[in-house]
Structure 1
């Protein structure tokens, strides 16, 4: 499997665990596949590895339009949703109600946000001079605390898990609803393997395994911004 950088609580790269990884592994194990190997890569390199059959699957955002240019790539059913939110410092008094509110602000978003968060957000980002995207969301809490941006666009679970690790008081932040959840999927070069995974995912939803995994991470994963 091709994965991106370690992003707890979804992926702990060192141990190859996390809520997303545990769901994926259990879906495969339901279908008799019990050995896994992951390859760390950027999302653009990951699709290259997949097209060249150097990995069997890659973990991606389901809504990312970047992948629409590639033929014979088969996305799975949604594994779970990332919960994308707009986060500011309470002390900044910044307000967010709609995507155009980022115009004129300093914004740090997750990599591929413009391709994943819809046309209205993409237009606003294009009109924002100090708009940047980075694959490493783990740097966002400290950077926001230091006032290096007005808004962080991040999955709330990644942001707050890292903030706690950095020993930052979560009450310093204000979270705004982006009205967007990013479905996470596996993309395969084999339709047969994709279908096998989908069957396993469906089965663990039915037999209770899926909910048990969510319960294991209940202190780290919330399905809404607030």
Structure 2
């Protein structure tokens, strides 16, 4: 634990030294771990990161990304000398955080194997099964889901969403919960190497919007202006189509 704590503060110090060398038009934003197609394995590109970078490019600003597990994003935002964190709910409240307009949507689903014959008509039905969800799902998916997770026969959260995918098809869990586009990406990429059974996708959750939380109001305003620009000039839709079609 002492080693982990020392390493964390080493990274914070490194951010501070790097920040002194950055120009006012260079920003550093905290991201989550890779979750294709939103954040690809190199943690520099992907649907979500491309939208952010293009929006800021219209404002002549350059973005660098600091990858960190979702559960530590806010800690990194608070202690590291970074300019913002890229995935927060639009209604999120945090001291000295300026939250942008929503710029990305997630549609979470529950996925089961067809031959398990699991019927999920509502969230309450989940409590009878073993579940592996994405990290911080209990915080993001609402109070009802958090209560269900607390009483589930076997509930876990994983930062590595490829592990969720693998564990479903290796029958080490009965239900996985993740974004539909992340799931479809894994199906396309790994195909028959992993997908050895028919599956069912259950749309139990409402679509969720996400924003960016910034330390400075002017960065939030610049992003909002850039976002509107790429929506109006068609760049936003081109990026969506590039990753989702």
TM-score range, shorter chain: 0.7 to 0.9
Pairs aligned (count): 215
Q: Which of the pair is proportionally richer in helix?
A: 2
Q: Measured at CA, do residues 114 and 44 of structure 1 come closer, stay the same or move farther in structure 2, by a change above 3 Å?
A: closer
Separation in 2 of the partners of 1:183 and 1:138? 23
Report the TM-score when normalising by structure 1: 0.88
Aligned-pair RMSD on alpha carbons? 1.9
* 2:183 aligned partner: 159
* 2:54 aligned partner: 26
User: Which protein is bigger by CA-based radius of gyration?
Assistant: 2
Shift of 1:25: 0.5
Secondary structure at the counterpart of residue 87 of structure 1: strand
Shift of 1:85: 0.3
Is 1:8 the counterpart of 2:36 in the alignment? yes
Query: 1:59-79: CA deviations, max 9, x gaps?
Result: 21416x9x64x3111221111
Separation in 2 of the partners of 1:86 and 1:122? 15
* 2:45 aligned partner: 17
1:172 pairs with one of 198, 205, 227: 198
Is 1:190 the counterpart of 2:216 in the alignment? yes
Q: Measured at CA, do residues 61 and 151 of structure 1 come closer, stay the same or move farther in structure 2, by a change above 3 Å?
A: farther
Separation in 1 of the partners of 2:242 and 2:35? 17
Unaligned residue ranges in structure 2 (runs of 5+): 1-28
Shift of 1:124: 1.1
Of structures 1 and 2, the one with the larger relative CO (CA 8 A, separation 6+) is 1
Unaligned residue ranges in structure 1 (runs of 5+): 220-226
Task: Summarize the alignment of residues 126-165 of structure 1 with structure 2, pairs less than 5 Å apart.
Answer: 126-165=150-189
Runs of 4+ more than 6 Å apart:
none
